[in-house]
Amino acid sequence: MLNIRVRTTDGSLPRFGQALERSFRVWLFGTGLGFPVISMVTMLVAKSRLKKHGRTSWDEKTGLVVEHRALGAGRAIVAAGLLLLLFTLAMLDSMAI
């Protein structure tokens, strides 16, 4: 939806094992297993590395490349609408008795 693609260095789709390993590495090194303070640190480290080297550690280790393409107005509107819908549903759920 956001025109982001994850590919191998030769441009093909990642194998299932590569995608699974990347997801695990993002969970571990990118979000710190979801622990609040640890996740802040791991996200800052990942952002710093991405800005310095142009790649995250999990993409480098799995041999994958992330491609970002231009986001058209239609995609931006749909993404914003879905985000607003999810936020609204979350708020309604939190208000439910």
Whole-angstrom distance, CA of residue 31 vs CA of residue 25: 9
In angstroms, what is the C-alpha Rg of the chain? 17
Nearest CA-CA partner of 14 in 5, 2, 26: 5
pLDDT tens-digit series, residues 49-63: 999 999 999 999 999
Three-class SS of 75-94 = HHHHHHHHHHHHHHHHHHHH
pLDDT tens-digit series, residues 58-78: 999 999 999 999 999 999 999
**pTM flag (> 0.95):** no
* 9, amino acid identity: T
Q: Is the pLDDT of residue 96 over 90?
A: no
